[in-house]
Amino acid sequence: MPQMNMIQALNSAMDIMLGRDPNVVVMGEDVGFFGGVFRVTDGLQRKYGEHRVLDTPIAEGAIIGAAIGMGVNGLRPVAEVQFADYIYPACDQIFSELARLRYRSAGEFWAPVTIRTPCGGGIRGGQTHSQSPEGIFTHVCGIKVVMPSNPYDAKGLLIASIEDDDPVVFFEPKRIYNGPFDGEPNKPAVPWSTHPKGEVPEGYYTVPIGKAEVVRKGKQVSIITYGTMVHVCEAAARSLGLDAEIIDVRTMVPLDVDTLCTSVKKTGRCLIAHEATRFSGFGAELSATIQEECFWNLEAPIGRVAGWDTPYPHAFEWEYFPGPQRVAAGLKAVMETP
């Protein structure tokens, strides 16, 4: 089985879907001739032509508005927003039109639009290139929200998203575009040449939307996380020698409550970790859900480790990012509670 990093896996997913389905189109700023700012769409325009892989103006609202029109008329657009920080101008189209189209038309119309966007920090991008706004989109009914943590899942989930008849916002943690990174601040922010790859099939396959994955089995504590933080949490658990069970949420909407609660009921302790800001972050929803479903099984309060409630700083990126030391401190607090 070939080795791929996340960029290569995502590129392979779009390549396969452009080849399988003539209704699939890829669109966004610089996705065509340039191949995307992170080269995720590299080579696709040369292979499939300018009518299938479209360069667009720098106008996120127009990109998503056009994608909705395409979707309503039978196409399956894969629209890239170059950074998640830039998705806000498109939110009215996403929230007021795309998410509600099937409901407001009583099922007569729908738009199978996939919105890809790189998210999170770790590349010294500062406040305008490092945000993690996934929690905002989980609040909007009618949208599926996905964030993979490894190349295999990235390819399978993207193919599943493109084939889905409902709109999907597909967040891509750019810090692990080139492979897992455990988040130690004394390492380079983007060690492009040292990131390990993962085994990814060359052909077609899907990873089901709405299914979490147990990436590490354990009995002492459940760590529930997603995206880059899966690797950070693994590093923290190893540093403490904990028999921790790590759950990769993978899809925030729909949420696989059964897998999460099965783990917490077994371990009796839970830590939730994400890179986004803590207040009203998706971890709050996870915490509330687990408390409601697992209250009588909990032996300690549910812990949360997240980004600070400030704009993402440029000069103090590693102080902001919830790295292994902060996760380890959170785990100690959960484990030491009698």
User: What does the pLDDT read at residue 121?
Assistant: 87
Report d(CA 336, CA 180) in Å as an integer: 29
Q: What is the CA radius of gyration of the chain?
A: 19
Which of 164, 161, 165, 193 has its CA nearest to residue 179?
193
Which of 298, 130, 325 has its CA nearest to residue 233?
325
3-199 and 213-336: identical CATH topology = yes
**Angle subtended at Cα 48 by Cα 47 and Cα 52, rounded to the nearest 5 degrees:** 150
Pairing, β 24-28 against β 221-225: unpaired
Backbone phi, then psi, for 335, in 5-degree steps?
-75, -30
Which of 195, 275, 197, 172 has its CA nearest to residue 229?
275
**What is each CA distance from 150 to 147, 226, 242, 300, in whole angstroms?**
10, 10, 23, 31
Residue 192: pLDDT above 50? Answer: no
- The pLDDT tens digits of the residues spanning 282-295 come to 999 999 999 999 99
86 vs 183, more confident: 86
CATH of domain 3-199: 3.40.50.970
124 vs 221, more confident: 221
Tokens (6 digits) for 317: 């990126």
Confidence of residue 72 (pLDDT cuts 50, 70, 90): very high
Which of 306, 172, 332, 323 has its CA nearest to residue 241?
332
Burial class (CB in 10 A: 0-12, 13-18, 19+), 310: exposed
User: What does the pLDDT read at residue 185?
Assistant: 47
pTM for this structure? 0.94
- The pLDDT tens digits of the residues spanning 238-260 come to 999 999 999 999 999 999 999 99
129 an active-site residue? yes
Give the CATH fold of the 213-336 domain. Answer: Rossmann fold (3.40.50)
User: What does the pLDDT read at residue 180?
Assistant: 52
Q: What's the mean pLDDT in 210-219? A: 97
Domain ranges across the chain: 3-199, 213-336
**What is each CA distance from 76 to 27, 160, 191, 236, 303, in whole angstroms?**
11, 12, 35, 40, 40
Query: Would you list the DSSP string of 89-132?
Result: GGHHIIIIIITTHHHHTTTS-----EEEEEE--SSS-GGGS---
User: What does the pLDDT read at residue 200?
Assistant: 95
User: What does the pLDDT read at residue 193?
Assistant: 31
- The pLDDT tens digits of the residues spanning 82-140 come to 999 999 999 999 999 999 999 999 999 999 999 999 999 877 777 888 899 999 999 99
Residue of 129, 139, 231, 314 marked active site: 129
